């Protein structure tokens, strides 16, 4: 007898695979471009040539060979600046997300497993921290600490740890009432050992999914801060500074705004979709 649900299962399997591999491919392309930027960038991203200002992309009339995505108002190559901008975006996203994830997940595990005063103190701290508007808080922190990638990373880590703490706390509370935790306790395992060796592996898919989401958020925050000139030097190639410059030339040099904006959108979407795909692929409950 033929199972009527098989075609539906195959379609769902294909959709899950596509939602995993397509964003992963885009992110890997960005990582490769960032690592090989000196080799693949057509031009120096800081080189200026006013005789080449606002050249259109290769598919438009008046394009110059070698300037595939055109140039900006200072004659700088848009494609080269986008490639070097990927280095900054990915560096900030990885360091900020890992720092945020370690701190927030640790607090969430402690609050969810030990409960009592651990849970009360951490939960109240999360409530207080979430009362501040995140973007305005980030701008305030960077303004106080000074511009630079270190300040941007610190601001993101100080703001977004609450997301990890809340989600991992809830996941840990569910896992703490599972039979395998009771079995470990009956077997004589210490509470901290049970937390690290039994509960942590089972909440790891959620942590990884949150890490991917946090990387996308970090890319957005860095772009916002560089948009308002609070990230690094305005001359350095960042997607936010390119968008800020392109906004003023949208009517006669739209490519300066559009290409980094599309890249930013696809990167954030890829991180978010990849996180969801990883959770569904490796979480035993969702993948069943």
Residue-wise pLDDT for 208-261, tens only, equals 989 999 999 999 988 988 888 877 766 778 999 899 988 888 888 899 999 999
Per-residue pLDDT reduced to its tens digit, 257-280: 999 999 999 999 999 888 887 777
> Which has the minimum average pLDDT: 4-18, 101-115, 157-171, 265-279?
4-18
What are the structural domain ranges in the chain? Answer: 6-41+85-238+263-282
* Tokens linked to 26: 């885009």
Mean pLDDT within 157-166 = 89
18 compared with 155, residue with greater pLDDT: 155
* 104, 143, 159, 203 from 112: Cα distances, Å: 12, 35, 21, 12
Mean pLDDT within 40-69 = 90
Cβ of 112: how many Cβ atoms within 10 Å?
26
Coil, strand or helix at 54: coil
**Whole-number pLDDT of residue 105:** 93
**The architecture CATH gives domain 6-41+85-238+263-282:** Orthogonal Bundle (1.10)
Taking Cα atoms as reference points, which of 231, 209, 216 lies closest to residue 263?
216
131 compared with 3, residue with greater pLDDT: 131
Contact 166, 108 (CB under 8 A): yes
Contact 71, 130 (CB under 8 A): no
The span from the CA of 227 to the CA of 222, in Å, is 8
pLDDT tops 60 at residue 8: no
């Amino acid at each position: 007898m033929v199972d009527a649900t098989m075609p539906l299962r195959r379609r769902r399997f294909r959709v899950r695979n596509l939602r995993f591999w397509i964003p992963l491919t885009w992110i890997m392309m960005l990582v490769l471009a960032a690592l090989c930027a000196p080799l693949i960038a057509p031009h120096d991203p800081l080189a200026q040539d006013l005789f080449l200002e606002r050249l259109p992309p290769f598919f438009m009339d008046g394009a110059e060979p070698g300037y595939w995505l055109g140039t900006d108002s200072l004659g700088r190559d848009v494609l080269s600046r986008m490639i070097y901008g990927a280095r900054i975006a990915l560096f900030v996203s990885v360091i900020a997300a890992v720092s945020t994830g370690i701190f927030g997940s640790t607090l969430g595990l402690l609050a969810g497993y030990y409960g009592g005063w651990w849970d009360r103190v951490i939960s109240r701290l999360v409530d207080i921290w979430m009362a501040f508007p995140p973007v305005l808080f980030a701008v305030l922190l960077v303004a106080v600490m000074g511009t630079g990638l270190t300040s941007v990373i610190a601001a993101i880590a100080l703001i977004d740890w609450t997301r990890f703490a809340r989600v991992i706390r809830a996941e840990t509370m569910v896992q703490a009432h599972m039979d395998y935790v009771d079995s470990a306790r009956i077997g004589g395992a210490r509470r901290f050992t049970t937390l690290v060796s039994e509960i942590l592996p089972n909440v790891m898919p959620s942590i990884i999914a949150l890490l991917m989401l946090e990387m996308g958020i970090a890319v957005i925050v860095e772009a916002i801060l560089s948009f308002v000139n609070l990230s690094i030097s305005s001359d350095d190639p960042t997607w936010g500074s390119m968008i800020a410059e392109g906004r003023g030339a949208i009517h006669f040099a739209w490519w300066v705004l559009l290409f980094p904006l599309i890249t930013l959108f696809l990167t954030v979407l890829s991180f978010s979709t990849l996180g969801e795909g990883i959770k569904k692929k490796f979480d035993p409950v969702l993948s069943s």
